[in-house]
Amino acid sequence: MRIAFLGTGVMGASMAGHLIDAGHDLTIHTRTQARAEALLSRGAIWAETPAVCADAQDVVISIVGLPSDVESVYLGPEGVLAAGKPPSLLIDMTTSTPSLARRIHQEASLRGISSIDAPVSGGDVGARNGTLSIMVGGDHDAITTAMPLLEAMGGSIVHQGGPGAGQHTKMVNQILIASMMVGASEGLLYAERAGLDGAKVIESVGGGAAGSWTINTLGPRMLQRDFEPGFYVEHFLKDLSIALQEAQEMGLELPGLIQAHALYARLEADGLGRKGTQVLLTLLERLNEVQSSS
């Protein structure tokens, strides 16, 4: 297919690479052209705006930063739907709001265009390995068309329901991860204070009831003091903010989510928004240093 790909960040670059490997022709637009150089060297074509990128393509796939970015690349004056001949299928893989997913679906439908929301989980490792979990919302026919492209990027692909259902499912994912990140950080801090070998601890607990992607993948990075991003703190905080807003609108009180949101907001305030989510460990270390000195 002729694919317009919007966003080649930590995850998007690998995802686009898998589509090139699968034989598709890519035209690319991203905020910083230098971040697309590796893909351009493999035959992808650069476009100056989302509208130019999408013009006369079969499909557009986006994975950008914030809901405001999603709104801009699809509905803005230089967005996808402003193209002379927009693609017949829109696939947004950004973690965004369910309401925006429904709005894009509605605007696309008025033009006879299909649209699905397909946020992902798995971080930089899943993107590189093509094993992302993809949560899909939208109409059955559109998802059938999109499936070969999704299969090139992901391992688990599940149709969750109508427009916005993929985004709601991603909120469930982020709520689960929020508490696991706190638990993994606290557990490893406890292990260190108890004089245990962190790697051996992960070997034991990672294969038991406490095992998770978080402890098995990010736990070793924490032990190695590797806080570079597989997923940015600032993007995770954005996701947790969306989840909190959606929960409040449903009348839900989720104390674990509230606490995790407060911790990640503190990390961003400390200037760590561009670090990986595993940098939470350093905040808990600082909190305990303050307590031990008081």
170 part of the active site: yes
Distance, CA of 241 to CA of 168 (rounded, Å) = 13
Question: Which structural domain range is residue 73 located in?
Answer: 2-161
The angle that helices 165-193 and 98-110 make with each other, rounded to 10 degrees, is: 150
Examine the domain organization and report whether 150 and 111 are in the same domain: yes
- Cβ contacts of residue 109 below 8 Å, gap of 6+? 115
pTM score above 0.85: yes
Residues 127 and 177 both lie in one domain = no
Q: For residues 55 and 67, what is the distance between their CA atoms, to the nearest angstrom?
A: 22
pLDDT band for position 230 (cuts 50, 70, 90): confident
- Both 94 and 185 in one domain: the answer is no
pLDDT of residue 59: 98
Amino acid letter, 95 = T
Q: What is the pLDDT of residue 290?
A: 67
Average pLDDT, the chain: 96
Pick the catalytic residue from 170, 200, 238, 275.
170
- pLDDT tens per residue, range 31-48: 989 989 999 999 999 999
The CATH number of residue 240's host domain is: 1.10.1040.10
- List the one residue out of 102, 150, 147 whose CA is nearest residue 122: 150
Which residues pair with residue 154 across a beta bridge?
Answer: 132
